[in-house]
Amino acid sequence: MSLLHFSHEHPLVSIESHSHEIEKVYCSGCGELVSGSSFGCVKCGFYLHRQCTEAPAEMNHPFHRNHNLNLLTRNPYGGRCICDFCGKTCENFVYHCSCNLDFHIKCALFSHSIGEKRNAEFQDIPRIDPSIKTGNVTEELKKAECFACWKPLLDSVYFSPNYGFYLHAKCVDLPAEINHLFHQEHPLFLQFNSQRLFCKIGQKPQRRGFVYCCSPCKFVLHIQCATIPTKINQPFHRKHPLILQNVNECLPCQICQDTTELNDIVYFCSICKFVLHGCCVSSPHIIEDKLHHEHPFILFQRQVSFCDACGTIGNYVPYICSTCNLAVHKKCISVPRIIKFYRHQHNISHTYFIEQREHETWECRFCFEEVNTEHGSYFCSKCNFIVHVNCATKNPLHYYEVDSIETMDSEEPVDLREIVTATWIKHSWHQHILTLSGDIQDFKQCDGCLLPIVTSYYCCSQCDFFLHKICAELPVKKHFWFHYCQRLLKLTSGCIFQCDICGYLTSGFAYICDKCEGRLCLRCSLVSDMSRSQGHEHRIYPFLSEHADQVCSACDKSTYFTFKCKHCSFNLHLNCLTLPLTAQHRSEVHPFTLTYHDDNDNYSESHYCDICEKERNPKHWLYHCSACNTSAHTKCVLGEYSFIKSGTIYTDHPHPLTCVKRVQYYPECQICGKLCLDLSLECKTIGCSYIVHWECKRGKRGLHIAQ
């Protein structure tokens, strides 16, 4: 006897039995070992169980009424395919629907039998009562979940797993159709959740298994949520019963703390505004998570005002550890012990207590509010860095959990200087000896940060090269509190680049990230998360708003990110915070000084910029020259190229070009033909008159310069 099967090119011959003494034979349909009657092509080594050959090419499944399932010989995605019944990978035949529902051939047939109520097929499968202790419960069974409801298998009587499925006995007898109080328009049918909809009561999606569903209305209930009572009494809310109802307020669940959405179906006491999610009513009484705490936590049937893990105020139903005398939120049971937080260079550890001296307060280094050290926080004992638990973990992009044995890359000590004497050094990025100097008379720019020299510095006696002492001593690798990659950035030099923070072009030193290729100028690298500005009396702190509604006090620009004062309504956006205290304009003899208010507030005729000759806002910060009595917009003094040093040698050209900022005689650009009024590149070779605009030559992110 033979048959033609769509899955194979040759006829398949009937085989009554297989001997596995020589070679094991596996079914190409379900992937399991072939035993008993089968069909096969011995020449190709292709075999199918008789049951797999009888599987229909197209199935009308009772748990998926919208479309038929089509039998395919391989998954349609090219990549990994997961069965929507058992959750395992589909590596052989697969029943597939365009809704992205996929099933092993055996899972489709087995669940079809459940839907058709062919209960006789289950009579020979042994049932196991977990309440009867046998000592045969494996760790795998303890973690197993029912394929129908996806609740723990050991919660109720289940069929023996030896038959290949995890299934509660009660889930086989579920009614195929129900009517529900909260969806009276249509009946709900037992279905696969093909649309991945959230349960209206449990508030969570269930990707696999069965749900009660009204597809036209997109209304879904978990199996267990469909049968919960409409009124309950709880020991942690004894005043009134809780009624299952639609709530038109956004309130936090007293167990999980997640806030309800408008018209969610929850257990609610309207008098006390007390809310419980339906799924939280059946929260486990004991939770063990030895990865994060060595003892089990037990549900405490009372409300407490403080969580010992996160320190948050609020009357919630906690879990307690009687050994450690801790009361914590349910979600805080799994708070990581050690994390790497992007605001700090070291790993920080979760602690329940920090010794505190009298009158001493600790300030969170994220929100900059006080931390109650009698409760949980994240702390670095090396640096006394502290942060609220919720501040550290509310955004998964801001941190990651680390093992206690994991070590972090450390900031490297200075190795760019070879100290010749107490006042002489040889720097890796300059060819000559540099001498320490304190002579601050003429306007000089540091070649590292491009800011004016106003403190002690190193200088070269042979060329126009200067370095602030602090810039010469920078570490080769450094952590930055605002860099999300959490990598150490590496100090580099030798190119003109655009800073990713302030947006200015600069010819100075840069810190670069080898992961995201981010670039950071030295001016921005010196910005602290607890900054000060000479234009304000208080310390200012970083603040990120969800909307661009933070108005800078220096320029009135609205932005998302500012440095904010906790004591008054003062804000600074980053570009105003990093304005140089002195700046030189190419057309002026004297340097300008940053000024925080206009002394001529009462004389409107003086409120004009002496560079662009347009009106100024007297409330904005400005640059002022007291010697010439001239004032100007900050952007007019700085322009676009203040941080590209004149005389810088540009090497991305057949012969070197020099950066120049002409004050008079503006030749034509040899690329676009327009006058070179701003930064230009000029060939200094005798007899060569080549000159071009910087913008005409600029073609890539980092342009190389001579060191």
| Total domain count, the chain | 4
**Does the residue 564 lie in any domain?**
no
Residues 345 and 397 in one domain: yes
**Does the residue 549 lie in any domain?**
no
Model confidence band, residue 71 (pLDDT cutoffs 50, 70, 90): very high
Distance CA 302, CA 234 (A): 10
Q: Please identify, among 350, 382, 401, the residue that sits at the C-terminal boundary of a domain.
A: 401
Residues 323 and 347 in one domain: no
User: Mean of the pLDDT values across residues 224-233?
Assistant: 88
Question: How many C-alpha atoms does 392 have within 13 Å on its Cβ side?
Answer: 33
**Does the residue 352 lie in any domain?**
yes
Residues 613 and 664 in one domain: no
Question: How many C-alpha atoms does 65 have within 13 Å on its Cβ side?
Answer: 14
Which ranges of 345-439 would DSSP assign to H, the alpha helix? 389-393
User: Mean of the pLDDT values across residues 410-426?
Assistant: 60
**Does the residue 586 lie in any domain?**
yes
Distance CA 632, CA 617 (A): 11
Query: What is the model's pLDDT at position 405?
Result: 54
Burial class (CB in 10 A: 0-12, 13-18, 19+), 330: buried
Distance CA 140, CA 255 (A): 28
Residue 260 pLDDT greater than 80, yes or no? yes
Residues 342 and 397 in one domain: yes
Residues 616 and 667 in one domain: no
Write the pLDDT tens digit of every residue in 450-489.
999 888 899 998 888 899 998 988 888 888 988 888 788 9
Model confidence band, residue 601 (pLDDT cutoffs 50, 70, 90): low
Residues 343 and 396 in one domain: yes
Instruction: Count helices and strands (H / E) in the chain.
Output: 11, 56
Distance CA 97, CA 112 (A): 15
Sign of CA dihedral 648, 701, 501, 410: negative
Whether the CB-CB separation of 335 and 389 falls below 8 Å is answered with yes
User: Mean of the pLDDT values across residues 107-117?
Assistant: 90
User: Mean of the pLDDT values across residues 381-402?
Assistant: 91
User: Mean of the pLDDT values across residues 508-531?
Assistant: 90
Residues 624 and 592 in one domain: yes
Residues 619 and 661 in one domain: no
In which residue are the tokens 């398949």 written? 12
Burial class (CB in 10 A: 0-12, 13-18, 19+), 697: middle
Residues 326 and 342 in one domain: no
CATH number (domain holding residue 294) = 3.30.60
Higher pLDDT, 360 or 104: 104
State the chain's mean pLDDT as an integer.
86
Model confidence band, residue 414 (pLDDT cutoffs 50, 70, 90): very low
Percentage above 90 pLDDT, the chain: 34
Residues 330 and 342 in one domain: no
Query: What is the model's pLDDT at position 707?
Result: 54
Whether the CB-CB separation of 520 and 490 falls below 8 Å is answered with no
Write the pLDDT tens digit of every residue in 555-566.
999 988 999 998
Residue 283 pLDDT greater than 90, yes or no? no
Domain residues for the domain of 658 are 649-704
Q: Please identify, among 638, 659, 678, the residue that sits at the C-terminal boundary of a domain.
A: 638
**Does the residue 608 lie in any domain?**
yes
Model confidence band, residue 590 (pLDDT cutoffs 50, 70, 90): confident
**Does the residue 196 lie in any domain?**
no
Whether the CB-CB separation of 574 and 502 falls below 8 Å is answered with yes
Q: Please identify, among 401, 423, 452, the residue that sits at the C-terminal boundary of a domain.
A: 401
Query: What is the model's pLDDT at position 347?
Result: 92
Higher pLDDT, 197 or 120: 197
Percentage above 70 pLDDT, the chain: 93
Residues 345 and 329 in one domain: no
The token pair at 194 is 């093909």
**Does the residue 90 lie in any domain?**
no
Residues 348 and 324 in one domain: no
Residues 6 or more apart from 81 whose CB is under 8 A from it?
Answer: 75, 89, 90, 94, 102
Model confidence band, residue 700 (pLDDT cutoffs 50, 70, 90): very low
Model confidence band, residue 410 (pLDDT cutoffs 50, 70, 90): low
Write the pLDDT tens digit of every residue in 230-259.
899 988 888 899 999 888 888 988 888 888
Whether the model pTM is above 0.85: no
Residue 517 pLDDT greater than 50, yes or no? yes
**Rg (the chain; Cα; Å):** 36
**Does the residue 385 lie in any domain?**
yes
Write the pLDDT tens digit of every residue in 157-216.
999 888 888 999 999 889 999 999 889 899 999 999 888 888 888 777 787 889 999 988
Residue 674 pLDDT greater than 50, yes or no? yes
Query: What is the model's pLDDT at position 602?
Result: 55
